[in-house]
Structure 1
Amino acid sequence: MNEQPPGPEQPSRVIDCALAEFSALRGELDEIGRGQRTVMSLNISANTAVAAFVLSQRVAPQLLLVIPYLSVALGMLYQTYANHARYMGDYINEHLRPIIVEKAGDNRLFGWEQHMRTRLYQDSASRLPMRAAFTLIVPMIPAVGLIWSIPYLHPAWYWLAWCGGLTLFALQIVSWIKQSWDFVWI
């Protein structure tokens, strides 16, 4: 490793490097946010299409069994995006912020990640709209698909598919609860 002796421009170079890395991470976080919105839109659109086909009686009602599988798969992708964003926020807060604070000599810099975690995530009033939306979209879509399909489970393999969907649905609920807990109690 080629370390240069400390000079007057050294803190400036370190700050420039940290800011460049921060800028790249913020760009990636923006992409993650777009990905999350796309996945949520796809979840709503695809499951609505399945339900519309069943309601129009163009397909067998057993097609409702697809909803839990589709919703869980897209929900897992959404959670992957959320976890990746959180890890990036952790990196910014735990690695880049101390560098900037030390080199700039001001502990007020790069405080957004900590502010968000202490204020936004733990303030139940500010989380209510997001939690209400997730409660309606994430677990309700597969739950309705599972409940709605019960009268149409004539052959035994439909029950097997239904049980598989229920199992995935339960695992997704546990995963969402754990993730919500992690975001609140950080």
Structure 2
Amino acid sequence: MILTAGTLHGEREPGEPDVDTPNEGACQALLAEYSGLLQLIDRKATVIATLVTFHITAVATIVGLLVARKGDVRLLVLVPLISSTLGLLVASQDRDARMAESYVETMLRPLVEEASGESRLWRWSEHLVHGRDALVVAITRAVPLGVLFPGLAILSLVATVPHMRSWLDWMGWSVGLLLTILLIVGWLEHGALLARRLLSLLRRTG
């Protein structure tokens, strides 16, 4: 059977028997898996956007209480706890999305090329890499998230040091510091993985 747009959608060519051939069944399974991965990536992106929005709202609420009501500066100790927890969740969701994209690129696309005999399908990742400067992409992704999560956490830790009064204050501060370190380590590891994947893609398309 020749793989065409019609056969990819389950249509049969004239005179073709009313049974699924192995190739057609494989193509249907391939498209079903591809669709599921796209839905997964979309869900992960939605979760990331929700986490970022919640983080901004939470931090703005704490700062608003301090400014409007002249609250205790020690409330800022909550910022590293919130920023680090949500930041690690963002990194986890982004890692899942990147793994799904990598699976499409390295596993599904070769199968599509083999089944269709067409090597120009599913080239969006390569088109995106060639259409945008890699350094600009890294900066525009890393800088805003770096400011929102570890940046605000570190700033809050520094700002609260002169206002610590009791061992409970220092305990909360220490927990915030520990979570911030975990966040930075996790993001550096995640960033290294993204860099390696980008370099690997550039080598394949170079």
TM range (shorter): 0.7 to 0.9
More deviation, 105-114/81-90: 105-114
Q: Match for residue 193 of structure 2?
A: 182
TM-superposition CA deviations, 1:81-111 (whole Å, max 9, x none):
1111112112212322222111111222223
TM-superposition CA deviations, 1:109-167 (whole Å, max 9, x none):
22334555x55797102332222212221221111211121121011221122122112
Q: Match for residue 177 of structure 2?
A: 166
1:51 and 2:47 aligned: no
In the alignment, the residues of structure 2 paired with residue 85 and residue 121 of structure 1 have an alpha-carbon distance, to the nearest angstrom, of 20
In the alignment, the residues of structure 1 paired with residue 102 and residue 48 of structure 2 have an alpha-carbon distance, to the nearest angstrom, of 19
1:96 and 2:108 aligned: yes
Q: Match for residue 128 of structure 1?
A: 139
Counting only pairs closer than 5 Å after superposition, residues 33-52 of structure 1 correspond to structure 2 as 33-52=45-64
In the alignment, the residues of structure 2 paired with residue 184 and residue 119 of structure 1 have an alpha-carbon distance, to the nearest angstrom, of 15
Contact 2:85 2:179 (8 Å CA) reproduced: no
SS at match of 2:122: coil
Across the two proteins, how many residue pairs are aligned to each other?
179
- The Cα shift of 1:185 comes to 1.1
Q: Once superposed, what is the RMSD of the aligned Cα atoms? A: 2.2
Percent identity, please.
22
TM-superposition CA deviations, 1:14-53 (whole Å, max 9, x none):
1222112111210121111111111011111101111111
Q: Match for residue 22 of structure 1?
A: 34
- The Cα shift of 1:58 comes to 5.3
In the alignment, the residues of structure 2 paired with residue 120 and residue 87 of structure 1 have an alpha-carbon distance, to the nearest angstrom, of 22
Q: Match for residue 156 of structure 1?
A: 167
- The Cα shift of 1:55 comes to 2.2
**Which amino acid in the other structure matches residue 170 of structure 1?**
I
Pair 36,177 (structure 1): closer, same or farther in 2 beyond 3 Å:
same
Please identify runs of 4+ aligned residues in structure 1 that moved more than 6 A. Answer: none
**Which amino acid in the other structure matches residue 23 of structure 2?**
P
- The Cα shift of 1:8 comes to 8.8
Q: From the CA coordinates, give the structure whose radius of gyration is larger.
A: 2
In the alignment, the residues of structure 1 paired with residue 133 and residue 194 of structure 2 have an alpha-carbon distance, to the nearest angstrom, of 9
In the alignment, the residues of structure 2 paired with residue 22 and residue 113 of structure 1 have an alpha-carbon distance, to the nearest angstrom, of 15
Contact 1:39 1:78 (8 Å CA) reproduced: yes
Where structure 2 has 5 or more consecutive residues not aligned to the other structure, the ranges are 1-18, 198-206
